[in-house]
Structure 1
Amino acid sequence: MRTASASAGTKLGYQPSLDGLRAVSVSAVLLYHMDFEWIPGGFLGVEVFFVVSGFLITALLVEERHHSGFVSLRGFWTRRAKRLLPALYLLLLVVPAVTLLFYRDAAGRLGGDVLAALAYVSNWWQIFLDESYFAQAGRPPVLLHLWSLAVEEQFYIVFPVVFVWLLGRAGRNRTRNVLVAGALASTVWMAILYEPYTDPSRVYYGTDTRLSGLLLGAVLALVWTPWRSRARPSRAAGPVLDVTGVLALGAVAWFFARVNEFEPFIYRGGFLLLDVVVIVLIAVLVHPSARLSRVLAIPPLVWLGVRSYSVYLWHWPIFMFTRPELDVPLTGWPLFVLRMGLTIGAAELSFRFVEQPVRNGALGRLRDRWRTAGPAERPRIQQAVFVRFGALFLVVAMVGLGLWSAATDPERERMQLEAAGAIGLDGSLAEISEGTGPASEPTAATAEDTTTTTSTQAPAEG
């Protein structure tokens, strides 16, 4: 929900600089998934999204309660559904269909992955399957990246109820203390569960171990509301804020450039430290006196940030369908250009023709048009709707038939193992070694004995 401009001095309003921060974060994730060695910590872009999301979601709740005296949870969840579900449903129609038609080596587990995505439990589904986040043989699951969307949606469902109840019963200060305690508890729990020199996927996927960013973002929204202040800030406030913001932005860049996913530090308080840095940066960006916000509010960054959810949704399957020298005869920057073109194109189509129409009430207008249509117009409306739903039905039927076929194909498992190099042509088992570094995709020369190490992140949506 967009409120009045922040210049009105009473509401947070739309903050383009936060979309700019999203653009920086999603760019880090995409560059990381391209396996560029100079950004080993790009996977932490998702933690930045978690903090931004926690802040914005809580700010909406706080502002609604402040101005109207109550919070409509139904309205909150309706807005979240309009924002998140249309693009996800489109992805869950197109990606399985493409997989079943052209990439059947990745089709074996699609049924469970799609159901888990629809229920927003993808992260727990991966834990249940003991699916490594960091080491994948052959083609990684094309919907593996939806784990972080599951973390966010679980937060969106539970947190507003608990937050509104706490705020009404315990007051602002005690609610703040509970949120801080929750963030610390999640951090400690991650450190307890983490075992050095073993696969950390369990602590990486778990909602219980990834709450610190979301909760600290919520704390910031609860205690930091400079847009409400009627006092005129001193001349020194702006420069102090800008210097603080630049230092925080530099610290985020340091995390991106210096930290990798296998360092024990990140699982023993590193995520919490990054969360603190990000809330400082957000606090600066939303302050009316800060000029740093203008830097992150430049049009190209805002354009990408507004579409960051769609960019994230589409980039991972596109990357998995364009493995270098296996699916496409490209590597390096030419491959990057191809992937970015496909990703931005798919994201823009989704944003322009699916997400925005639904958010702007296209379904409601169709309903109203039907109610007011005369006898001559209704058949035309019916025909248009039937054509669209007929096409949708054909896609769903094709996906369902393909899933059934993939699940019952007796050769499926053998084909997957052969593609991954797990068995030889004579049926003998081949050794698969785990990757030990950032994500790397097999080339044609090493496709039969290389394990792909992957990290999949999702931008948070506020």
Structure 2
Amino acid sequence: MQKSQKKSDIKIKSAKTYLPGLDGLRALAIIGVTFFHLIPNVFAGGYLGVLLFFVITGFLLAYTTAERDHRGTFTVPNFYAKRVKRLYPELILVVFFSVGVIRFLVPWAVQGIRLEVASVFLGVNNWWQIAQNADYFKRIASASPFTHLWFLGIEIQYILIWPLIFWGGKQIKKRRGFFAAWCFVLLLSLVSAVWMPICYQITHNVTRVYYGTDTRAFALLFGACLGLLKYERDASRKRRPRPRRAGIKITAAFWGIIALVVVSYVFIKGRYAFVYDGGMALYTLAFGALLAMTVDSRLTFGRRLDRSRVLKWIGSHSYGLFLWQYPVIFVFNNKGWLDHAAGGVLALVLIGALSAWSAWLVDFVEKRRWQKPFKKRGFKIAAVAVACAAAAVCGLGLYTTLTSKNSRAEVQQALKSRLEKNQKAISKTKDGTPIYPWTDPPKAKANYKGTGNAARASVKNVTIIGDSVTLDAAPDLKAKFNNSVTINAKQSRHIGDELDWVKKQRKHHHLGRTVVISLGTNGELYEKAVKALLKVLGPNRSVFWVNVYGPELDWTRANNDYLNQLAAATPNLTIIDWNSTLSAHPEWLWEDGIHPNPDGSKAYADQIYNAIEQVQTK
């Protein structure tokens, strides 16, 4: 990540032209991301800090490239070499050190981790994570200490293509001038920004939209527009303008955007359709305005941010803070150490200490400081000992990665076979139509509010829509409902994937008056997709939604909280609390900790049946 760029990378001709305030903006970004990872239910919008990082990275790459090209010192090999030196030493240390430690603390998390680590170093981790939705049996074990490194994949891919984009702009500038070249980069940014909502509408898959390089590149390219514009103005000035205090309007705009960012870190949840239908593009514009005001040499905002030693330290160590935070939070979460506030504070302290340590260690090794004389011999011995110990742990991590085997492979294969068998069974039809056709329900009762009994709920002629959890329990569901049920369940299903099937069933009057939904295991329940499904089902059906169990899944609590809020606002919706049931009976699960074993499948079917029967008698 381009978050702790050296001062030498952002100079024009002398140290006097250093761009102040960037560390303060990096600090604002990393604070949001860190608290989103640590307490996502409080800082639900902290992921927006990623956008600010993207804008800063795009800005710095464009600014420094234009400056070096102007001096005649820019070469593509040199550019790549600097980026590799900036990104990889600390990344290698964090990944292998983390694997070496996690091998003892959370051993299951490093089983079969080779492909994930390879995707991180090859710079394609975002696409690797998108692919996990296609291969479910990698995904059920994908709770990982390196989930956050999708971000680095996008940055590495952008770094690879940036020299080509810059060359294209340079050719346009020679023929048409700077404005045409600038518009070329801006057009690329607009294409990506427009593609995000289109892709969201087409796929209904937030994972694809959120992790895709094509859907996220607009922030990097918009930052590049600002960087090129900034350098062009700086290079055209004969002398540097003297800083002055901004007027009331500009000052209000600057601090207003910061206030907006802080508020958004709390309230703008990732499930909101607004985020993908243009919200991210709007926030990118806001971050761009914030960056432009910060680096404007005629204003003093950047110098004000630099006065805070805390923000400056956080910003200068933001890359290390980003790399270390998820491994630390992952371990703390799995060990139950985040159940109390003290655990969260300790995690933050440890993240800060590790980021400072890794930055020092990389510098110690890169500059061969052990060869230089130390004022105190004892310090030199301690420093070398620490470096050797770190090398030993990293070596263990490398060995663990190369030799990792998934000890759960046999269990997963057995589960896979079971699901494939169940999938074939529930797909059987007569003459191409569902086994139990029925007509649409009559108009709802006038007084059903609070009962969920919109169409006189019944345990007969029920439609159940679910993912692999439902698929796993399909035989028990059929037996419990005496075959008076149609089950549509698929592995790896996200909310939105079921919509076309539901529309088709309703069109042909094959949708039950009582509908059970069991979705939310494979990712967040996004507002737009949920409301689209409920709209198709209509207010005259009794709808039951099975909530989510998965302590290792980041979105479990958010999904269940959302479902409770949804039920309170939707009279014909009843929540089936599968989460509480499994919390009391973890022995009802297979080894993956998500899918019900034979005892769990029976309990799952019983709970759904009993919930419908209870509403039916109201």
TM-score (norm: length of structure 1): 0.78
Query: What is aligned with 2:311?
Result: 301
Aligned to 2:354: 346
User: Once the 2 structures are TM-superposed, how far is the Cα of residue 81 of structure 1 from its aligned partner?
Assistant: 1.1
Aligned to 1:378: none
Q: What SS does the aligned partner of 1:350 have?
A: helix
What letter matches 2:255 in structure 1?
Answer: V
Given the alignment of the two structures, is residue 27 of structure 1 paired with residue 27 of structure 2, yes or no?
no
Map of 2:209 onto structure 1:
203
Tell me, yes or no, if the aligned pair for 1:28 and 1:39 is still in contact at 8 Å: yes
The answer as to whether partners of 2:97 and 2:390 remain within 8 angstroms in 1 is no
Q: Distance in 2 between matches of 1:386 and 1:247?
A: 49
DSSP 3-state at the match of 1:142: coil
Cross-structure match for 2:18: 13
Structure 2 unaligned residues grouped into runs of 5+: 1-5, 374-385, 417-467, 478-517, 527-553, 558-578, 595-618
Contact 2:23 2:311 in 1 (8 A): yes
Equivalence for 1:374: none
- Quick one: structure 1 residues 392 and 262, their matched pair in 2 at CA, closer, same or farther if it must change by over 3 Å? closer
Contact persistence 1:54–1:218 (CA under 8 A): yes
1:177 alignment partner in structure 2: 183
Q: Is the alpha carbon distance of 1:295 and 1:149 closer, same or farther for their aligned partners in structure 2, counting shifts above 3 Å?
A: same
213-222 or 244-253, which deviates more: 244-253
Match of 2:398 among 381, 396, 399: 396
Higher mean displacement: 86-95 or 441-450: 441-450
Any idea what the Cα deviations from partners look like across 1:368-413, whole Å, max 9, x if unmatched? 99xxxxxxxxxxxxxx999997775555334433x03x36863577
Match of 1:130 in 2: 133
Matches within 5 A, 1:57-456: 57-66=61-70, 68-69=71-72, 71-130=74-133, 140-171=143-174, 172-195=178-201, 198-225=204-231, 227-228=234-235, 229=237, 230=239, 232=241, 237=246, 241-297=250-306, 298-323=308-333, 327-354=335-362, 356-357=363-364, 361-362=367-368, 393-401=395-403, 403-404=404-405, 406=406, 410-411=410-411, 433-434=520-521, 435-436=524-525, 439=555, 445=583, 448=586
Between the aligned partners of 2:353 and 2:390, the Cα distance in structure 1 is: 22
Q: CA deviation at 1:7?
A: 10
User: How far apart are the structure 2 equivalents of 1:159 and 1:433?
Assistant: 38
Give the AA of the match of 1:159: W
Q: 1:5 to 1:212 in 2, by over 3 A?
A: closer
Matched-pair contact (CA < 8 Å) for 1:3–1:14: no
Q: Give the stretch that moved more between structures: 79-88 or 28-37.
A: 28-37
User: Which amino acid in the other structure matches residue 287 of structure 1?
Assistant: D
Structure 1 residues 164 and 398: alpha-carbon distance in aligned structure 2, compared to 1, 3 A threshold: same
Q: Aligned partners of 1:84, 1:249: CA distance in 2, in Å?
A: 28
Displacement of 1:111: 1.1
Q: Deviations over 1:101-125 (max 9, x none)?
A: 3323223341110110110100111
Residue identity in the other structure for 1:284: M
> How far has the Cα of 1:256 moved from its partner?
2.0
The separation in 2 between residues aligned to 1:214 and 1:385, in whole angstroms, is 35
The DSSP-based 3-state class of the residue aligned with 2:410 is coil
SS at match of 1:94: helix
After TM superposition, the structure 1 stretch with the greater mean CA deviation from structure 2, 385-394 or 228-237, is 385-394
- Sort the Cα spacing of 1:69 and 1:243 in 2 relative to 1 into closer, same or farther, 3 A: farther
The residue that corresponds to 1:39 in the other structure is 43
CA distance in structure 1 between the aligned counterparts of 2:44 and 2:274, rounded to whole angstroms: 14
Larger radius of gyration: 2
Q: 1:394 to 1:328 in 2, by over 3 A?
A: closer
The residue aligned with 2:563 is none
Q: How far is the alpha carbon of 1:315 from its aligned partner? A: 0.7
Please give the per-residue CA displacement for 1:410-462, whole angstroms capped at 9, x wherever unaligned: 3577899xxxx979xx9x999774354884569995794898xxxxxxxxxxx
The question of whether the paired residues in 2 share the 8 Å contact of 1:238 and 1:290 is answered with no
Change (3 A) 1:385 1:250: closer
Aligned residues: 421
Query: Which 10-residue stretch deviates more, 153-162 or 224-233?
Result: 224-233
Residue type of the alignment partner of 1:173: F
**Distance in 1 between the 2:336 and 2:245 partners?**
55
CA contact (8 A) 1:244 1:284 kept: no
Per-residue CA deviation, residues 28-71 of structure 1 (Å, 9 max, x unaligned), is 111112235443211110111000110011110111123x1352
Partner secondary structure for residue 56 of structure 1: helix
Deviation of the 1:251 alpha carbon: 3.0
Give the Cα–Cα distance (whole angstroms) in 2 for the partners of residues 60 and 296 of structure 1. Answer: 22
Q: Comparing 55-64 with 26-35, which one deviates more in the overlay?
A: 26-35
Instruction: Classify 1:211/1:446 alpha carbon distance in 2 versus 1 (closer, same or farther; 3 Å).
Output: farther
Once the two structures are superposed, residues 242-282 of structure 1 have per-residue CA deviations (whole angstroms, 9 ceiling, x without a partner) of 33322332332343233110111111111111111111111
Letter in 2 for 1:123: N
CA contact (8 A) 1:204 1:210 kept: yes
CA distance in 2, matches of 1:254, 1:56: 27
Q: For residue 334 of structure 1, what is the amino acid of its counterpart?
A: A
Q: Tell me which residue corresponds to 2:462.
A: none
CA contact (8 A) 1:190 1:268 kept: yes
TM-score for the superposition, normalised by structure 2: 0.60
Aligned residue type for 2:132: L
Q: CA–CA distance in 2 between the matches of 1:112 and 1:432? A: 28
CA contact (8 A) 1:239 1:290 kept: no
Q: Larger relative contact order (C-alpha < 8 A, sep ≥ 6)?
A: 1
Distance between the aligned counterparts of 2:194 and 2:311, measured in 1? 35
Q: Is the Cα contact below 8 Å between 1:91 and 1:313 reproduced in 2?
A: yes
* Distance change >3 Å, CA 112–CA 300, structure 1 → 2: same
Q: Offset of 1:96 from its aligned partner?
A: 2.1
Cα separation, 2, equivalents of 1:447 and 1:327: 19
The answer to whether the 8 Å contact 1:322/1:328 transfers is yes
CA offsets, 1:323-357, max 9 Å, x none?
1xx51354242221121122112111111111x34
Q: Deviations over 1:104-161 (max 9, x none)?
A: 32233411101101101001111122179xxx86872221111010000111111123
Say whether the 8 Å CA contact 2:305–2:311 is kept in structure 1.
Answer: yes
Say which SS state the counterpart of residue 224 (structure 1) adopts: helix
CA distance in structure 1 between the partners assigned to 2:294 and 2:352 by the alignment:
26
